[in-house]
Structure 1
Amino acid sequence: MCENMGEVAGPAPSGFSLTCFRGERHFSPQNDAGRPGPVRRPSSGEARGAGSSEGPLERVPEWAKALLAGGIASCCAKTAVAPLDRTKILLQAHNSHYRHLGIYSTLDAIWRREGVRGWYKGNWCQMVRIFPYGAVQFMAFEQFKKTLTPALNHPHLAKLLAGSLGGMAAVILTYPLDMVRVRLMFQVKGEHLYEGIWHTFRTIWAREGGILAFYRGFVPTLIGMVPYSGLSFFTFDTLKQLLLESGPRILLQHGRHDDDRALRAPVNLVLGGVAGAIAQTVSYPLDVTRRRMQLAVLTSNAEKFSGCVRTLLTVYRTDGVKHGLYRGISVNYLRVIPQVAMSFCVYEMCKQLLGMDHPASQNSQKPKQNSQQNMQTPNSQNPAQSSKLS
């Protein structure tokens, strides 16, 4: 068949020789002596495209990378501050055993009363909740930021809204687990009402009115998430971009690729701590309101904490601002600042490892398109020559 093709098509144009390869016509440039050069079969790497040297990570969608990075970062951060997290809840909700104690005395009392495990009570439930929470929060922030930035034409407002929406999405999906976690952490040794995650779920469902019981305190949580998550992401991302663009070189390091620039880990820790402090100061009264509503059923005056506004006013009238709305904020600073700092720091490290900031990963489909163009035969690139051959 290959011999007959020359008779049908006529002589090949100057500079090309006709070759049969798997039933298709391929062309190889002639050498200086007029003889056809060797026909090289494309390698498997070339068949996948010119950009395939980036490796398989660039084929993973950006949203999937953000989910993984956000979940890992949040778990690391929460585990590191778990003892302070439980101390905050005990002080915030006026537990009878720790009501008159301070931060360090409460930590010491937990150690003496319940041992090391007392510091991490409820942490397993926390991990079950915090991985999807952090995954959804960071992923939603990245996606909302990409969508809102061109739509609003205002990058700072887009960051603020994206952070708020990301936090709200995470809260909506994981709030029942937060309710279970708080109930477990509020218990003290010898006075257990709940025996694990599943038992807590069943008990709340049976005794407190079904699914709605898991969303007690949901409204102040959702409202509080708007300034907290919004300001956290806005502050960190804005400071990060400022330092990347105009900061001293000593603060920068190379990313996973040679053309990437990233902030050093200690710098990310500092920026995350600043972001956490600002966000927590603004939203803390709503956090107190949420906790009091979540734990109202365990107190003798539950009817006073039946609504968001009513709970807020009750706390203010009973204990005032310093000892009510901002009670426990000092321990919360000790908890939130390192937690948010570590969360953003680990997230940025995961982003570098996964290549999320590299342009190639953001345009992972382009190498495939380029490969299809590169694999086209010369007759598709030069219509004049193609018409002569036909």
Structure 2
Amino acid sequence: MVVGYEKDETLTPNQKLIAGVVSGITTRFITQPLDIVKVRTQLQAKDNGSTWIGLSWRILREEGFTTFWHGHSLGQLHSILSVASQFHAYEISTKFVENYASQYTSPQFKKVLLFMCGIFAGCASATLVSPIEVIRVRQMVVKAQYGGVLQGAREVYRRGGILAFYEGLTASLMQMGPQVGITFAVFRFVQPLVVEYLDYMEDAGQTEAEKKAAKTKQLLISSSIAGSTAGFVSKTATYPFDLAKRRLQIASHKPDPKVKTPEMSKNLVKCSSLMSCLLDMVRKDGYTGMYTGWAITICKAQVTSVIIFTTYEMVCYAMRD
């Protein structure tokens, strides 16, 4: 039982879409504080000497506990659209590969096509949620200036016009496409291996009730391990584009003198283009500069991947059952 289309699947696409929505809501609620720290870390100069743990304490001390939930409403909308669209696009594209393309291709090339399905899902999701993500990131930085959804949208438009809602889209596509492709590919590879191993370790003399309970446990464990592995590999491989995306998403941001700007949000690192952003990282901090904020990002990616895949699989399992 893996994500993506399977010929003997009993769930409809709409039921899987519901599973994706539930997965997205659950994930965002749990990981929002980590996302705040991650974004703040990525927008600080590397030489400021702050670790992500120190930055967390500073946010708590200077801005209060509720700061960790700035942009949460938009974050929920972003998470629902992002996760649901990823799974839905992946479902549709893998269905095409399984039903049509696989008839004319070798098993090896089919794996390439399935990887491309993941890239398609990531690009579709990144394009869909770009305007929401730009507003959300700026709310995380200066909540008072970007306020609610409408206030944030007006402020983004006032600072950079309609194109401001798509700042960082190129970096987002170059990050999310391969990231989602790698994530789904690693998950599809690792999860069956873990299930097979757990099956091998199970007692052959179990009753039907015990087998059913064991199957649920296997699904939970295998999804957690595969999700964690997928999150680590995919995020590490595409991280420089994630860092560039965040710095591009605040390119047109200018502090409003009428609004109080938090101290750590006054000297943010911004970029005007993807290439100049990547070159500046290397020129100022060496190649390690392309991984500023990597530790907290990997921590969040691990938690996010585990919750996303585990929740998605468990909801699908519950509906099938």
Q: Distance in 1 between matches of 2:92 and 2:86?
A: 10
**Aligned with 2:49 (options 92, 100, 113):** 100
**Aligned with 2:83 (options 127, 134, 139):** 134
Q: Distance in 1 between matches of 2:78 and 2:142?
A: 19
Q: Which amino acid aligns with 2:252?
A: V
TM-score (norm 1): 0.68
Equivalence for 1:198: 150
Q: Distance in 1 between matches of 2:23 and 2:244?
A: 27
**Aligned with 1:224 (options 165, 168, 175):** 175
How far the C-alpha of 1:231 sits from its partner, in A, is 0.5
Q: Which amino acid aligns with 1:203?
A: E
Q: Distance in 2 between matches of 1:63 and 1:224?
A: 26
Q: Distance in 2 between matches of 1:223 and 1:122?
A: 24
Structure 1's 290 and 226: CA in aligned 2 closer, same or farther, altered over 3 A? same
How far the C-alpha of 1:64 sits from its partner, in A, is 0.8
Q: Tell whether the 8 Å contact from 1:163 to 1:231 is kept in structure 2 after alignment.
A: yes
Q: Which secondary structure does the structure 2 equivalent of 1:234 belong to?
A: helix
Q: Which secondary structure does the structure 2 equivalent of 1:87 belong to?
A: helix
Deviations 1:115-154 (A, max 9, x none): 2211111111100111011111111111211212340443
Equivalence for 1:329: 294
Residue pairs, 1:362-373, within 5 angstroms: none
Q: Which amino acid aligns with 1:291?
A: R
Residue pairs, 1:110-121, within 5 angstroms: 110-121=59-70
Q: Tell whether the 8 Å contact from 2:250 to 2:270 is kept in structure 1 after alignment.
A: no
Residue pairs, 1:254-273, within 5 angstroms: 263-273=218-228
**Aligned with 2:312 (options 327, 332, 347):** 347
Q: Which has the higher helix share?
A: 2
Q: Distance in 1 between matches of 2:149 and 2:201?
A: 47
Structure 1's 282 and 135: CA in aligned 2 closer, same or farther, altered over 3 A? same
Deviations 1:276-323 (A, max 9, x none): 00001100000111111112234799998222112211222122221x
Bigger RCO (CA 8 Å, 6+ sep)? 2
Identity score, percent: 26
Where does structure 1 lack aligned partners over 5 or more consecutive residues?
Answer: 1-59, 359-390
Q: Distance in 1 between matches of 2:176 and 2:146?
A: 28
Whether 2:73 is the aligned partner of 1:73: answer: no
Equivalence for 1:314: 280
Q: Distance in 2 between matches of 1:285 and 1:123?
A: 25
How far the C-alpha of 1:100 sits from its partner, in A, is 3.1
Structure 1's 151 and 208: CA in aligned 2 closer, same or farther, altered over 3 A? same
Q: How many residues align?
A: 289
Q: Tell whether the 8 Å contact from 2:195 to 2:222 is kept in structure 1 after alignment.
A: no
Structure 1's 304 and 172: CA in aligned 2 closer, same or farther, altered over 3 A? closer
Equivalence for 1:164: 119
Pick the structure with greater CA Rg.
1
Q: Distance in 1 between matches of 2:222 and 2:192?
A: 12
Where does structure 2 lack aligned partners over 5 or more consecutive residues?
Answer: 1-9, 255-265
Q: Distance in 2 between matches of 1:269 and 1:308?
A: 34
Q: Which amino acid aligns with 1:138?
A: F
Q: Distance in 1 between matches of 2:270 and 2:246?
A: 13
Equivalence for 1:62: 12
Q: Distance in 1 between matches of 2:281 and 2:28?
A: 27
Equivalence for 2:249: 294
Q: Which secondary structure does the structure 1 equivalent of 2:49 belong to?
A: coil
Equivalence for 2:199: 248
Q: Which secondary structure does the structure 1 equivalent of 2:145 belong to?
A: coil
Q: Tell whether the 8 Å contact from 1:176 to 1:215 is kept in structure 2 after alignment.
A: yes
Structure 1's 113 and 159: CA in aligned 2 closer, same or farther, altered over 3 A? same
Q: Which amino acid aligns with 1:163?
A: G
Equivalence for 1:338: 303
Q: Which stretch shows the higher mean deviation, 297-306 or 139-148?
A: 297-306
Equivalence for 1:55: none
TM-score (norm 2): 0.81
Q: Tell whether the 8 Å contact from 1:71 to 1:131 is kept in structure 2 after alignment.
A: yes
Q: Which amino acid aligns with 1:208?
A: G
Q: Distance in 2 between matches of 1:251 and 1:202?
A: 58
